[in-house]
Structure 1
Amino acid sequence: MKAEVLVYRGGLVENRHRASLAVYGEGGLVAYAGSPALVSYLRSSAKPFQALALFLTGAAERFGLDEEEIALATASHDGTPLHVEVAARFLGKLGLGPEHLVCGTHPPLSKEARQALERAGLGPTPLHHNCSGKHAAMLAAALALGAPTEGYERPEHPVQALNRRTLGALAGAEPLHATDGCSVPTFALPLARAARAFYLLARPEEAPEAYREALLRVQGAMRRHPHLVAGPGSIDTLLMERLPLVAKRGAEGYYGLALLSTPKGPLGVALKVEDGSAQAREVLVVALLRALGLPPGPTPWDRPEVRNHRGLPVGHLEARLELAWL
C-alpha cells in the first residue's frame, strides 16, 4: 500500500513525493501506507505533548495561564500581532521577557505580518518565532520545577527529560532525540508509536492516569483556539475550525492528527513525506481525511495548481493513497 503526491506539469508526472503513515485506533494499529515502522523526527508535531509539562509540573496553575497561552504553547504560529501579544503576555506572567527565549529569530510566517514589520522599519524579535509559545512553556515548567531557566534547551535539563519521558509513556517506546531548529530537543519515533500518542490525545481517558487531565486540557485549548495554533489560511487552523480533531504540522513533511470522531472511532495519525515537502504533505493530509471519512470540504490543497513566475497554471498536484487496513 502506498501514499504519494504526484506533481504534474502538463500531462506528465514531473515529480513524486512518497510518504509513509500510520493510523492507530482502539486496540492498536488499524491502517497504514508505506512503512509504519519508519523512524522519523516529529519536529513541531511533538508540541502538544511538550505542552503537557505545563500541567505535569503545576506551572499552568501557578502562573494563572489561560487557554490562549496553552494553545500558543502547542503552536507553530504565523507571527501575527495576536500571536506576538499572547507570547509577550505569557512571558510577562513568568516575570520574563523575549531575551530569555533561546529559539532564535525569523521573520513572521504570515506574509501580512512580515510586510507590516517591513513598512514600519522594524525587524522580527524572538516573539515572532513560530516556537515562541513552546519556549515560554518550557521556561514556565522550569520555574515550577525549581530548575534553572538558563540552559532550559539542553537535553539534560529537567524540563527536557520530563518531555522525553512523557512522549515515551504515551507512545509506548523510548524516543530518540536530536536538536530541533529552535535549539531544544526534537524526538524521533516509529510512525506507529507516534500515532499511538496522537490517539491518546484524542482519547485522554485511555492514557495512563497521570497524563489524562493534561491531555484533555491541551486538546481543549487547541480546539477552542485554532487560530493561535497556526494562523489564518494555515492547514492546522482550517482543519480544527471545521472538523472534530487536533491537527499539528511539523517541519520536513511531518504531520500529526488526533481524530476525536470518525466512522471508525477515534484515531491517531502520524504521517511523514519522506523528502520533506510541506506542499505535498498538505495535499496528502486532506486526501487521508477523506479516506478516513472526515471530508474537510473545499480546501486550497485539493488538486492545487502549479503556477509559473507569471502566475500562469502549468500543472497540478494530486494525491494517490492506498491504505492497508488491519
Structure 2
Amino acid sequence: MTGAVDLVELWRGGRLESVHQGHAVVMNGAGEVVESWGNPDHVTYPRSSAKIIQALPMVESGVADRMGLTQAHLALSCASHSGAAIHTDPVQRWLDDLGLNDDAFRCGPQWPSDLPARNGLVKTDDSPCRYHNNCSGKHAGFLTMVAANGWGPEYVEADHPLQQVIKTTFEEVCENTSPGWGIDGCSAPNHAMSMRGVAHAMARFAVADDSTTRGAAMVRLREATMAHPALVANVDRACTHLMQAGKGAVSVKTGAEGYFIAIIPGKGLGVALKIMDGGTRASECAMAAILCRLGVLDKDDPLVSRYRNPDLKNFAGLVTGDMRPAAALASV
C-alpha cells in the first residue's frame, strides 16, 4: 500500500530544509480517480472539511426553507470562521430567531482568531462566548434542525437523532461505511472516511443539479459558500482568498490537522487532501497547487501565490527562503 508522499517543501539558502508529506486524491462524479498522490484509501477524519455534508440534511429535509434560512445562513453553517463581527453578529441573530441564547450551544467558548474581535474582548476585560467558536455557524444549523424536529438539547451525542441522520448522510454521499468516529474540536462526532470516499462526496457536490432533492440541496450549499467566502472563513484566510481567486469556479474548505477539500462544479471534480503532520500552511500550499494543476486557479494570481509559493520572512522582514509544492504537484 502506498504511503504518504512529499507534497510541500521549504527551502532556505538554496537548501531543502523541511518537507510536509501527505495524501491527496481527485475524483469525478462517477467515482473514478482522476489523479492521486500517496494513498487514496488512507482513512482519517475530515474534520471541518465535512461541514458541507453535515449541513446537507438541514437543506434537503426542507428545514432550511421552513425556518427561513438565507444563503448567508447556509454559508455560516459550513464555516470555520474567525469570530469576527461579520460572523458573530449573524450567529447571535440566528440564535435570537430560534428563541435561544449562547447556553444552547454545545461547542465551547473560543478566543476569536480575528484580531479586532480578540482585541475588543481584551480591552473590555471580557471573555469569549460560545458564539465566538469557529464552529458556531454549524452549531446554529444543528440547533435549527433540533428546533424544527422537536429533538432534545444534547445534539452532539452520537446517538442523538441529529447525529444519526448526519452519519447516514455522510456515508451515503461518500458511498462507503465509516469505520468509526472521534470527537471534533466543537464536541460533535466526526466520522472517519477514506480520502477516496470524501473526494467522491465532493465530486458529487460538484456534479449535482436540481433534478433531485439531494442534488438541489448540494447545489444550494456549494453556491452559498462561493457567494459568501468571507463568512466561510474570514477576509484574511486561505479559504476566502482561494474562492475569490476562483471567481465562482471552486468551493474550498479547510479542516483541522491538515485536511482540505475542494468542489469544482465546472469540471465535475472533487478533491480531498491530508497533510500527515497536520500543518495548515502545507495544506494551503498543496491545495493551491492542485487547483492550479487542474486549471482552476492561476499560479501568478497574488491571492494564489501567497499560499502556493510564498516567500518566508524573518522578524526583520528579510526573505529567508520559500515554501513551494513538491515536484509531484508543481507542474501546471
Question: Shorter-chain TM-score category?
Answer: over 0.9
Amino acid of the residue matched to residue 278 of structure 1? T
| 2:237 paired residue number | 234
**What does residue range 119-130 of structure 1 map to in structure 2 within 5 Å?**
119-130=123-134
Q: Supply the distance in 2 between the matched residues of 1:241 and 1:304 (Cα, whole angstroms).
A: 18
Amino acid of the residue matched to residue 292 of structure 1? L
Q: 1:196 aligns with which of 194, 200, 214?
A: 200
Q: Supply the distance in 2 between the matched residues of 1:103 and 1:316 (Cα, whole angstroms).
A: 37
Distance 1:322 1:311, change over 3 A: same
**What does residue range 1-326 of structure 1 map to in structure 2 within 5 Å?**
2-27=5-30, 28-149=32-153, 151-175=154-178, 176-205=180-209, 209-243=212-246, 244-261=249-266, 265-296=267-298, 297-299=301-303, 300-322=306-328
- Contact 2:245/2:297 (8 A) holds in 1: no
1:160-194 superposed Cα distances (whole Å, 9 cap, x missing partner): 11111111111100123110011000121110110
Q: Supply the distance in 2 between the matched residues of 1:117 and 1:312 (Cα, whole angstroms).
A: 33
How far apart are residue 11 of structure 1 and its match?
2.1
Amino acid of the residue matched to residue 43 of structure 1? R
Describe the SS at the equivalent of 2:257: coil
Greater relative contact order structure (CA < 8 Å, 6+ sep): 1
Amino acid of the residue matched to residue 282 of structure 1? E
Q: Supply the distance in 1 between the matched residues of 2:146 and 2:177 (Cα, whole angstroms).
A: 22
How far apart are residue 7 of structure 1 and its match?
1.5
- Contact 1:200/1:206 (8 A) holds in 2: no
Q: Supply the distance in 2 between the matched residues of 1:219 and 1:316 (Cα, whole angstroms).
A: 33
How far apart are residue 285 of structure 1 and its match?
1.0
- Contact 1:288/1:321 (8 A) holds in 2: no
Work out the percentage of aligned pairs sharing the same amino acid: 34
How far apart are residue 84 of structure 1 and its match?
0.4
Describe the SS at the equivalent of 2:9: strand
Distance 1:321 1:218, change over 3 A: farther
Q: Supply the distance in 1 between the matched residues of 2:164 and 2:119 (Cα, whole angstroms).
A: 39
Distance 1:321 1:185, change over 3 A: farther
Q: Supply the distance in 2 between the matched residues of 1:153 and 1:112 (Cα, whole angstroms).
A: 30
Q: Supply the distance in 2 between the matched residues of 1:283 and 1:295 (Cα, whole angstroms).
A: 13
Amino acid of the residue matched to residue 126 of structure 1? R
TM value normalised by structure 2: 0.91
How far apart are residue 281 of structure 1 and its match?
0.9
Give the alignment's Cα RMSD to 1 decimal.
1.8
How far apart are residue 26 of structure 1 and its match?
4.0
Give the gaps of 5 or more residues in structure 2: none
